[in-house]
Amino acid sequence: MEERPKNYNIVIAFLVMIIIAVSCYAFYGKTGLKEDSAIGNKALSVLDDVDIAEEEALILKVKNDSSENFNNVSPVLIYYDANGMPFHEGWAAKIGYFASGETRCMEFYDTVKDYSKVELGLFNVGNEISYTDMRDKITYNAEKSKEVDGFDENKLNFNGENKSDMDVSLVFQIAYYSGEKLIYEDEFMTIAKANSTFEEYEYLQTSFIDGTPFPDGFTYEVNLVEAVEYVDMYSDIENTQISDDKIDFEELDDDEKIEHALHQVFKTQYGDKLDSAKITITKMYSAKEVETNPLLKSLNIKEGEIPFEATIDFLPAEGADPNIFTIPNGEFDSTSGWVHNASRLGILSPDNANSGNYIIRNLGTGW
């Protein structure tokens, strides 16, 4: 994965805002991942960890030691240098609901190895969505496919039922162990329609990313770690057509298509509060990268779709509050009036309802 632009000041700003408790963000818990940099922790504890060097990734098995049910949070690792200054962030996929006393795995990407101290925290995403644990409304079983004609395809079949009157977003986690040691983790998300059954499957892993087989006798454990009401946060954005008669999208490069689609998203999101935006596409994922990235695989990326990373500079309209463009990240330059180094991830997708147009789905700051 290409290295994302580092944004030191925004990390410092987050920490300051947390301390003075005036921000919509909150930071829970501290855990040193090195014995010589251990920090006291009351909210979260790391029970196990797995380093995935090939992807600059880290899997952590984390327990919620607090009495609070964490709601709508993004896990983050903040790395510090020898001078105690934050210099890098590693993010994991957003968590809708993390109950008190429970344990789940988190896979962090864009991690680093050379650091003095690291803190593990959960940032409130900062919108008004409040999720309720709906796992009591979900029944399921997970069974490994039987061997057919001497062939074992290592498929895990999920069959279940959503007994609620709402569509529910489900996250299933498959944790792999050698003895009691966690060696790998995989998960996938699906939507269970209201009052209906569902059938899904996921292939079981038998080797690490580099092809090395798992140890003999390895085991796996399947858990439904999250079931919350499905909320399409991007419905208005995704349904916005990119209709500009002066542009022939078929003649644009992929990065130009993403840029135009993002401009339309920001126009919808910020309205007349936005003057202009400069967009730089920093990464487009290949089909091979999608196949080897568990988080991207869980997004069911189809042929013709392009996952991407981008850096954006926003120019707020005259009189608009620049701080709205610094959430969830970005740095306001009072001299120029621009908000620099905001980062976004998303998937460029053909708009099936409007041939030749494109939409952005799964827009955010982390997979």
Do 103 and 79 share a structural domain? yes
Highest-scoring range by mean pLDDT, 23-27, 81-85, 218-222, 271-275: 218-222
Do 263 and 286 share a structural domain? yes
Q: How is residue 250 written in tokens? A: 């078929």
Q: What is the pLDDT of residue 183?
A: 95
Q: Is residue 211 part of a domain?
A: yes
313-365, pLDDT tens digit by residue? 999 988 888 888 887 788 888 888 899 888 899 999 887 756 678 888 888 87
Q: Give the integer Cα–Cα distance in Å for 322 and 297.
A: 35
Residue 134 has pLDDT above 80, yes or no: yes
Do 239 and 358 share a structural domain? yes
Q: What is the pLDDT of residue 228?
A: 94
Q: Which of the pair, 281 or 9, is modelled with greater confidence?
A: 281
Q: Which of the pair, 224 or 255, is modelled with greater confidence?
A: 224
Q: Is residue 3 part of a domain?
A: no
Do 337 and 239 share a structural domain? yes
35-87, pLDDT tens digit by residue? 333 333 468 888 999 888 766 788 999 999 888 899 888 888 888 888 989 88
Cα angle for residues 331, 89, 305 (degrees, 5° grid): 85
Residue 26 has pLDDT above 50, yes or no: no
Do 274 and 183 share a structural domain? no
Q: Give the integer Cα–Cα distance in Å for 193 and 230.
A: 9
Q: How is residue 317 written in tokens? A: 């309209």
Residue 198 has pLDDT above 60, yes or no: yes
Do 239 and 222 share a structural domain? no
Q: Which of the pair, 245 or 101, is modelled with greater confidence?
A: 101
Q: Which of the pair, 236 or 364, is modelled with greater confidence?
A: 364
Do 316 and 243 share a structural domain? yes
Q: How is residue 220 written in tokens? A: 């796996």
Q: Which of 72, 94, 124 is the last residue of a domain?
A: 124
Residue 1 has pLDDT above 70, yes or no: no
Q: Is residue 130 part of a domain?
A: no
By C-alpha distance, which of 63, 57, 93 is closest to 75?
A: 93
Q: Is residue 316 part of a domain?
A: yes
Do 284 and 173 share a structural domain? no
Do 86 and 50 share a structural domain? yes
Q: What is the pLDDT of residue 99?
A: 94
Do 260 and 177 share a structural domain? no
> What value does the mean pLDDT take over residues 282-305?
85
Give the pLDDT band of residue 4 (cuts 50, 70, 90).
very low
Q: Give the integer Cα–Cα distance in Å for 24 and 169.
A: 25
What does the DSSP assignment read for 254-280? HHHHHHHHHHHHHHHHHGGGEEEEEEE
Give the pLDDT band of residue 150 (cuts 50, 70, 90).
low
Q: For position 203, which CATH number holds?
A: 2.60.40
Which of 28-37, 217-226, 258-267, 342-351 has the lowest average pLDDT? 28-37
Give the pLDDT band of residue 98 (cuts 50, 70, 90).
very high
Do 353 and 241 share a structural domain? yes
Q: What is the pLDDT of residue 258?
A: 92
Q: Which of 229, 254, 281 is the last residue of a domain?
A: 229
Residue 349's contacts (CB-CB under 8 Å, 6 or more residues apart) are 302, 304, 305, 358, 359, 360, 361
Q: Is residue 1 part of a domain?
A: no
Do 259 and 360 share a structural domain? yes
Residue 269 has pLDDT above 60, yes or no: yes
Total domains in the chain come to 3
Range of the domain at 162: 135-229
Q: Is residue 56 part of a domain?
A: yes
> For residue 84, how far is the Cα from the chain centroid?
27
Q: Is residue 41 part of a domain?
A: yes
Which of 112-121, 134-143, 179-188 has the lowest average pLDDT? 112-121
Q: Is residue 268 part of a domain?
A: yes
